[in-house]
Amino acid sequence: MAKVQIIDRPRRWDVPFASRRLPANAVAGIMRLPAFAALDRREFPDDLQPQDIIANDSRILSFRTGDVIYAAGAYQTSIFIVLNGAVRMQTAVPAPPEAQRTEADDATWLRRTFLKGRQRLQKLEWKRDIVPQPSSVLAQNDIFGETEAMARTARQASAVAAADRTTVLELRWPGARELLHWSDAFRRRVENLYRIRSVEAALRQSFLFNGMDDELLRGIAKQCFFETHGGFGWTHIYQRQRTEKPSGDRPLDHEPVIVEDGQYLEDLFLLRSGFARLTVQTNHTEQTAGFLKAGEVFGASELGESMRTGGPALASFGLRAVGYADIVRVPAHFIEERALHAVAQAQRTAGPPRQRVAYRGRSQLDFVVDNRLINGTKAMLVDTTRCVNCDDCVRACAATHDNVARFERQGFSHGKFSISNACMHCADPVCLVDCPTGAITRDQATGNVLIDEKTCIGCASCESACPYNNIRMIDARNSSGQLLVDKDGTHIRTAAKCDLCTGRAGGPACVRACPHEAITRVDLRELQTLTN
Amino acid sequence: MRQLTRNAAVTIVAIAALFWIVGQYETALRDPRLLDGWILAAAMMAQLSYHVRKQLPALTLGRAASWLKLHVYAGYFVIAAFLMHTSFSLPETSLEWVLWILFMVVAVSGIFGLFLTRSIPARLQHVSADQVTFEQIGAARARLAGEVDGLMLNSVKNAASAALSDYYADHLYGYFRKPQHVGAHLRGSRYPLQAMCDDLDRLESHPNSKAEELLEKLKAHVVAKFDLDHQYALQGLQHAWLFIHIPATYCLIAMSVLHTMVVYAYSSGVR
Amino acid sequence: MSIARYVKFWRFAEKSDRALRTKRNIISAWVAVLSAGLFILAIAYASDSRHFMPGPVTTVHGTLEQCTDCHSNVSKGQFGWLHAVFAPADPDKDTKSCLTCHMMGEAARNPHGLELARLDAYVRRAEASPHASKRSTASRIREATLPVERTFPEGVFCATCHKEHNGQTFDLTAMSDAQCHTCHSVQFDDFHSSHPEFDSYPFRRRTRINFDHSGHFKKHFPEWRTKKNAKEVPPACTDCHTVSAEGGHMDIKPFEQICTACHIDQITGVERATGPKGITLISLPGLDLETLKEKNVDVGEWPEDAEGEISPLMRLLIGRDEKHRNTLKVTDELDLLDLTEASDAQIAEVKTLAWEVKRLVHTLTTAGMTDFFRRIKSATGARISKDLATQLSASMPHDVLLAAQREWLPNLASEIDETPGEENEDTSPVFTTETVSDESSGTDAAEQEEEDAEEKPKTVSASAASAGQSGSWRIDPFGRLIKGNQPPEDEEDDEAEEEASDQEGEGSDDEVDTADSDVSENNGAEEIEVDTEGWTELGGWYRKDFAILYRPVGHADPFLRAWLDLTSRLFAEDENNLARPAFEELTHKDAQGQCAKCHSVDATKNASRVVNWTPSSLASRESPFTLFDHRPHFGVAQKDGCFSCHGMSKAKGYLETYKGTDPYTYVPNFKQVKKETCAACHGKMQVRQDCLLCHKYHVNEIATPVLTTEVPKN
């Protein structure tokens, strides 16, 4: 048998989103929609015209009343436009914090974490207690789904068809990205929507405004501020930091300040997406005290305290944006008027913010935050006091993935632990952003970031995007093991990374194969401490 | 801790049950060596199945950690079964010695290996947090040696004294070329490093700034090489013990099969 | 400076560590193959297959050089064992190898080496005796999972219990109590707590020597002490008893050491108040000569003063065929001294009897001892060896007979010549060379030799295989009548020979005496009145009135002994049995010699009799399974000494039981030993109480064959 198989090099337009490209008249009709009316073809490169984008990267779906277009909690990065009929957005609101405590909250001991890691992985994602909320109905030409597409989070609300013969246009992220990238008008419109809706969603999500009247909520939302600190290009800054490592400077010093420690607080901060670092001023230096992840609140206890006592609200921590952070600022007087009881309750039950009971030792915290590892929901945590370098994990990964291992057993080390170069399936997966074909997506159910090898064209955007070097380009082979080459004999490359053995029974092969239980896949946002 | 207690208790109960059952067999005027021989054989097959499972990581046959635990506790059971089978006495003839020695090699190397897996990772940790993959050590060593060579070549032009160059040529050249002081690393001793650094310090008693800089760089490289050797020695041991344990196992299995044949050939038929 | 800097490239896309693992697998495969190969080479070049041994054999088997000497399944040669791997092993073959040297008879594969019928009897007895059978849980589990029937369907093999190859000094006979219990239906935990109670141990039958300990202690010894010689009363048990060689029995010292001081006079007749002190061998019966004369019955000369009767011993000499037995039978009913009312037929028989007696005397005086024994042979069918004959005749001097004949029937010779005789036509040999076979009908010679046929285990000695006829009578070196090749018993009896040689002297004295009296009669010299009986105070032949008698010479008189042995074997319940009256005369309460006073008489299985000369013999030990050694117990006996374990029994009736002939009707002098006596130490203190201390498994002897060495031919 020959060692190589000659095939055509995969290209951007090879795999349309629908079963085939949309026909030209449908595309023409879509282009006339208000959403796309502002698209100026001249803004687009010749080989990337909007009609081609739409033809290739969108599809039209039909629904009847009650059909679920997408469910809350699913990981999707498509933008939808209502063509016909109506769509109801049904919000799923998480219950107050105390009802939401997961096992992760109790996992102060890494050993327990190891043992229950598998169960934990399954439990973490879907533990959302639904509290019924009033819904909104979208009509023809409304855009929906853009919030999660741009923030790369799970769907905050379910989209349910509200009329018979509801048709929607689903534009997948690669296409949406191109449109957003090249068309200013389109971008402005979508970003506007994103802001408004983010604020509303943030308020709805927060336990503080649980049960609030929808009308009222929207009113408050109009008064809130949506801020972005840091930038989406944070990964590049981060990578630069890593390679250069100038002495004396800490990553912390370069992070944009949102709130100073001890600052007078006038607003409540809801972290919409991204991460924020909590800091304290000690001995004339600023030290890390913890971090906030998306969905969490800053300043609730301080404001509550000040409401009770009448004194001023002073921030007990500083707040800096790690990478980037989308903040929704809610003016304090709204809190006073509407959410007093909730705040008081929060103060009583939650106590100090969880993250304050921090990782053991500042150094561990710094390590995790500085390296942006808190992004990882499935980071491969290796206990190096148990690892005997037998490489059984690598062997197992190779055995389950065409004899090519998908990770490297080295990575960020700190003390007794090391986070390997295995895809962490980030909370905010920046690798998704630039994929032209949408080969790299999040699995709808689990949120794992997966690469579809058939669709991948080997452009290596994801590889360069990943701040942690967890994606590598490998030679593509067919199922018989033959190297795939194009007509010129150049190896066809494809992106490869850890896929958490999604679809295989038993969970990640590396975890199963380690004889000394040294590996576990952990959500670094949830871990209290990296103890042993 | 609870798991450990439970597993140890199960093993102890299993061993006690083995002793009791073989005792009852002997009381019933059967041949107890036949029974505990086959129990030993079955237990050895169970131990071997761990080796087989490790060769098939793609099959979801259970977690490797569980298998290893079973292998270790079953190993204690196998040792007890072996002692029972040999009537707790030393062998007296040549074939028996062969079997006994092979078994002891396997069992002792296994226990030693267990000890290594619990002790070496911590020791590797202690020295440097950056671990190198075993296969990469050779290349890292080569790179380090190349750097030092470059350093010294340059230094000849600049600041190095003859003494330092001679010292490098006599001692350090070989030092950077191959793994050194493996014994000291296994023992956990930093003495050789200490000695070399003292030597270097003594060489340049009144250094100028350039010489001092060179000396510091050289010392840093020496330390790095020492750390690399540490990795090499300990990781090497982590791999090497299995080169005793597994070939000896294969040998033991082969000889055990022959032993079983001999037993049945010379058996009088009394069960 | 961190070494991370030097780790620039990574082999993410390559399989890590494959080279090492592959190397390891290759090494492993090679090692396995090489070791197997070396093994095969080692076998091929070894001189023998001894290196297969799991351990050395015990020192006693150390001279066996070839594995095939015991392992019957393998063949010789380095690879002779290969086919045996798959060939089914028959444990019986290896057992046969063991039995070549350790001969255990036919029942070797049975448990305990006993015939199954006997084993069955023992089992039933054990189950019937009072016991508390405690089967432990472990025992129940064993019984359910490893039943004995499956382990030993064809029998117990040597290798079942005896495992060789465990070292030179390994104890092959070691067994745990639990292992012993595996087969037994009556199980228990240990001796002390739950061993069954002893069932009539150690006395199962009356003692062979009738000795009433209580009577002696209470009556005779005190009498002797006060009235006679206190020094002759034994003060301690050990004055009469001594430990046997194997320690289990307390043997009795010879009569001559312990009993003779008080009892010798009873035997020799010194103390005898009434009746003759000797046993009548030949006597002329008294006849009613007047009546016979009236009826014209010619009996020739007959002393008128004869008043005696035919002695029982004479009957054996007379009743040599059917006709004469009939004569005896008829004349028994008559009073020979008063034949006035006898019928003619009866008188004819009397005549026959008279002539028969005369003929007897005549042939005895003329034909010699051979005729004597021919008559006995004709009467009983027993062929006797010359040794036995010597004892039966006690070297009777010819002159005694001659003098008697001259005195009683002076013209006997001429009378016999004139009378048509009925000579013995039997010319077949009377004596055998060494042994005598019993050609008679009716009695089973093989049965007669055993004292207790049921209880005594058969001994299979090496020379049994080469023994000649098993039913032969002979005198053993110690002068005892034994049948076949019974091992000699303990007692030595040298004195019998001394006594026998003394007979010569006495006989000759008698002869002289007779001759003197004869001369005096003929020459008209003075008659000397001698009390011949008193004269023969040291025992021997004497003539008194019209009888020739024999007075016992002392204890273990060979004449009495031989006649008792002969007549006891020939005894039958049938009233016509000729030996019966003789036997009864010799064992009568007032019999001369008083043999039966102390030597009990048992009935045998076929209703003959046996006189117990010795207390017991090795062969007649009652408990084949039990071992007991007195000696270790001497050191721990309390102040009561022997009575610590053997207390005197207060039961009465000891002597009465000797009136019958059933040895199992008995009243022992001593209390039976109870388990609690033994358990006082065995079990409570740190004293062994394991099964093998007191019990043995191989009940029968295990014999090693004596070498068959041929006498050199050159």
CA torsion sign for B56, B60, B61, B67 is: positive
For chain C, what percent of residues have pLDDT higher than 90? 3
d(CA C428, CA C440): 14
Please, which residues 373-392 of chain C have a Cβ atom closer than 8 Å to chain A? Answer: none
Q: What are the residues whose beta carbons fall under 8 Å from the beta carbon of A152, sequence distance 6 or more?
A: A77, A273, A428, A429, A432, A433, A442
Q: What are the residues whose beta carbons fall under 8 Å from the beta carbon of C525, sequence distance 6 or more?
A: C519
Residue C612 has pLDDT above 80, yes or no: yes
B83 touches chain C (CB under 8 A): no
Contact C580, C545 (CB under 8 A): no
Contact A154, A70 (CB under 8 A): no
Residue B247: which of C27, C56, C90 has the nearest Cβ? C27
SS3 state of residue A329: strand
Strands C384-385 and C431-432: parallel
In this prediction, residue C518 has a pLDDT band, given cuts at 50, 70 and 90, of: very low
Query: What is the pLDDT, as a whole number, of residue B77?
Result: 96
Query: What is the pLDDT, as a whole number, of residue A363?
Result: 73
Q: What is the pLDDT of residues B207-226, one digit of tens each?
A: 677 777 888 888 899 999 99
Per-chain mean pLDDT for chain B: 88
CB–CB of C12 and A408 under 8 A? yes
Amino acid identity of residue A473, one-letter, is: M
In terms of pLDDT, which residue wins out, C477 or B110? B110
Residue C505 has pLDDT above 60, yes or no: no
CB–CB of A394 and C7 under 8 A? no
Residue C601 has pLDDT above 50, yes or no: yes
**Which of the 8 DSSP states describes residue C118?**
H
B2 touches chain A (CB under 8 A): no
Please, which residues 215-244 of chain A have a Cβ atom closer than 8 Å to chain C? Answer: none
For the ranges C94-103, C235-244, C391-400, C486-495, the lowest mean pLDDT is seen at C486-495
Residue A27 has pLDDT above 50, yes or no: yes
Q: What are the residues whose beta carbons fall under 8 Å from the beta carbon of B89, sequence distance 6 or more?
A: C167
Segment A31-37 long-range contacts (CB within 8 Å, at least 24 positions apart):
A33/A81, A33/A83, A33/A141, A33/A169, A34/A141, A35/A81, A35/A141, A35/A143, A35/A186, A35/A189, A36/A186
Chain C positions in Cβ-Cβ contact with residue A421 (cut-off 8 Å): 10, 12
Per-chain mean pLDDT for chain C: 77
Query: What is the pLDDT, as a whole number, of residue B99?
Result: 94
Nearest to B113 by CA among B184, B42, B36, B51: B51
Nearest to C390 by CA among C547, C562, C540: C562
For the ranges A6-20, A193-207, B105-119, C9-23, the lowest mean pLDDT is seen at C9-23
In terms of pLDDT, which residue wins out, C308 or C620? C308
Residue C436 has pLDDT above 50, yes or no: no
Residue B54 has pLDDT above 70, yes or no: yes
At the topology level, CATH places domain A222-356 in: Jelly Rolls (2.60.120)
Q: How many residues make up chain C in this entry?
A: 714
Query: What is the pLDDT, as a whole number, of residue A339?
Result: 61
SS3 state of residue C298: coil
For helices C344-367 and C369-380, the axis angle rounded to 10 degrees is 140
Query: What is the pLDDT, as a whole number, of residue A125?
Result: 34
Average pLDDT over residues C637-657: 87
Average pLDDT over residues C313-328: 84
Nearest to A81 by CA among A186, A195, A199: A186
In this prediction, residue C9 has a pLDDT band, given cuts at 50, 70 and 90, of: very low
Query: What is the pLDDT, as a whole number, of residue C439?
Result: 41
In this prediction, residue C514 has a pLDDT band, given cuts at 50, 70 and 90, of: very low
Strands A136-138 and A166-171: unpaired
In this prediction, residue B83 has a pLDDT band, given cuts at 50, 70 and 90, of: very high
Nearest to C559 by CA among C484, C502, C501, C496: C496
Per the structure block, which two tokens stand in for B129? Answer: 């947090």
Query: What is the pLDDT, as a whole number, of residue C8?
Result: 37
Residue A469 has pLDDT above 50, yes or no: yes
Query: What is the pLDDT, as a whole number, of residue B16?
Result: 96
C28 CA: distance to closest CA in chain A (Å):
18
Query: What is the pLDDT, as a whole number, of residue C120?
Result: 86
**Which of the 8 DSSP states describes residue A285?**
E
Tell me which chain A residue has its CA closest to the CA of residue B67.
Answer: A515
For the ranges C391-405, C512-526, C603-617, the lowest mean pLDDT is seen at C512-526
Q: What is the pLDDT of residues C238-268, one digit of tens each?
A: 899 988 888 888 888 888 888 888 888 888 8
Q: What are the residues whose beta carbons fall under 8 Å from the beta carbon of C637, sequence distance 6 or more?
A: C644, C645
Per-chain mean pLDDT for chain A: 78
Using CB atoms within 10 Å of the CB of residue C154, give its burial: 0 to 12 exposed, 13 to 18 middle, 19+ buried.
exposed
Q: How many residues make up chain A in this entry?
A: 532
What is the value of ipTM here, to two decimals?
0.85
For the ranges C12-16, C217-221, C334-338, C606-610, the lowest mean pLDDT is seen at C12-16
CB–CB of C10 and A398 under 8 A? no
CB–CB of C16 and A394 under 8 A? yes
Contacting subunits of B (3+ beta carbon pairs below 8 A): A, C
Residue A347 has pLDDT above 60, yes or no: no
Percentages (nearest 5) of helix, strand, coil residues in chain C:
45, 5, 50
> Which of A392, A395, A471, A494 to mutate to test binding with chain C, by most C CBs within 10 Å of its CB?
A395
- Which range in A20-24, B11-15, C306-310, C460-464 is most confidently predicted, on average pLDDT? B11-15
Query: What is the pLDDT, as a whole number, of residue B72?
Result: 95
CB–CB of B235 and A389 under 8 A? yes
In terms of pLDDT, which residue wins out, C238 or A532? C238
d(CA C430, CA C375): 9
d(CA A45, CA A182): 8
Q: What is the 3-state secondary structure (H, E, C) of B92-138?
A: CCHHHHHHHHHHHHHHHHHHHHHHHHHHHHHHHHHHCCCCCCHHHHH
For the ranges B101-115, C103-117, C127-141, C520-534, the lowest mean pLDDT is seen at C520-534
SS3 state of residue C400: helix
Whose structure tokens read 């040597």? Answer: C158
Average pLDDT over residues A399-416: 84
Average pLDDT over residues B12-16: 96
Average pLDDT over residues C12-37: 74
In this prediction, residue B249 has a pLDDT band, given cuts at 50, 70 and 90, of: very high
H helices present in C524-578, as ranges: 532-535, 558-570
Residue A97 has pLDDT above 60, yes or no: no
Residue C347 has pLDDT above 80, yes or no: yes
What Cα–Cα distance (Å) separates residue A518 from each residue in A104, B241, C103? 19, 20, 69
Please, which residues 89-108 of chain B have a Cβ atom closer than 8 Å to chain A? Answer: none
Nearest to B15 by CA among B34, B32, B40, B33: B40
DSSP string, A243-284: HH--SS--GGGGSPEEE-TTPBP-EEEEEEEEEEEEEEEETT
C17 touches chain A (CB under 8 A): yes
Nearest to C159 by CA among B126, A169, B29: B29
Helix H or strand E segment including A449: strand A449-451
Q: What are the residues whose beta carbons fall under 8 Å from the beta carbon of C623, sequence distance 6 or more?
A: C201, C202, C204
Query: What is the pLDDT, as a whole number, of residue C476?
Result: 56
Contact A330, A285 (CB under 8 A): no
Domains of chain C, residue spans:
55-78+89-198+676-714, 264-611
Per the structure block, which two tokens stand in for C596? Answer: 């039966």
d(CA A346, CA C256): 121
Amino acid identity of residue A306, one-letter, is: S
Chain B positions in Cβ-Cβ contact with residue A387 (cut-off 8 Å): 121
Q: What are the residues whose beta carbons fall under 8 Å from the beta carbon of C13, sequence distance 6 or more?
A: A404, A405, A472, A474, A475, A496
In this prediction, residue A350 has a pLDDT band, given cuts at 50, 70 and 90, of: very low
Size of interface B-C (CB pairs under 8 A): 171
A410 touches chain C (CB under 8 A): yes
Query: What is the pLDDT, as a whole number, of residue A247?
Result: 59
Amino acid identity of residue C688, one-letter, is: R
Residue C635 has pLDDT above 50, yes or no: yes
Amino acid identity of residue A334, one-letter, is: F
Average pLDDT over residues A227-252: 70
Amino acid identity of residue C153, one-letter, is: P
Per the structure block, which two tokens stand in for C256? Answer: 């001559």
Per the structure block, which two tokens stand in for A45? Answer: 């490169």
Q: Taking the CB of residue B119, how many other CB atoms lie within 10 A of it?
A: 13
d(CA C244, CA B201): 96
What Cα–Cα distance (Å) separates residue A400 from each residue in A477, A499, A507, C303, C363? 15, 11, 11, 135, 123
Contact A149, A177 (CB under 8 A): no
In terms of pLDDT, which residue wins out, C375 or C697? C697
Query: What is the pLDDT, as a whole number, of residue B37?
Result: 95
CB–CB of B265 and C81 under 8 A? yes
In this prediction, residue B160 has a pLDDT band, given cuts at 50, 70 and 90, of: low
Per the structure block, which two tokens stand in for C255? Answer: 């009569």
Query: What is the pLDDT, as a whole number, of residue A32?
Result: 86
Domains of chain A, residue spans:
222-356
Q: What is the pLDDT of residues C38-61, one digit of tens each?
A: 988 888 888 777 788 888 899 989
For the ranges A75-84, C386-395, C561-570, C686-695, the lowest mean pLDDT is seen at C386-395
CB–CB of A404 and C13 under 8 A? yes
In this prediction, residue B168 has a pLDDT band, given cuts at 50, 70 and 90, of: confident
CB–CB of B131 and A390 under 8 A? no
Backbone torsions φ then ψ of C693, nearest 5 degrees: -65, -40
Domains of chain B, residue spans:
2-128+242-266, 134-235
Query: What is the pLDDT, as a whole number, of residue C462?
Result: 31
Chain C positions in Cβ-Cβ contact with residue A410 (cut-off 8 Å): 7, 10
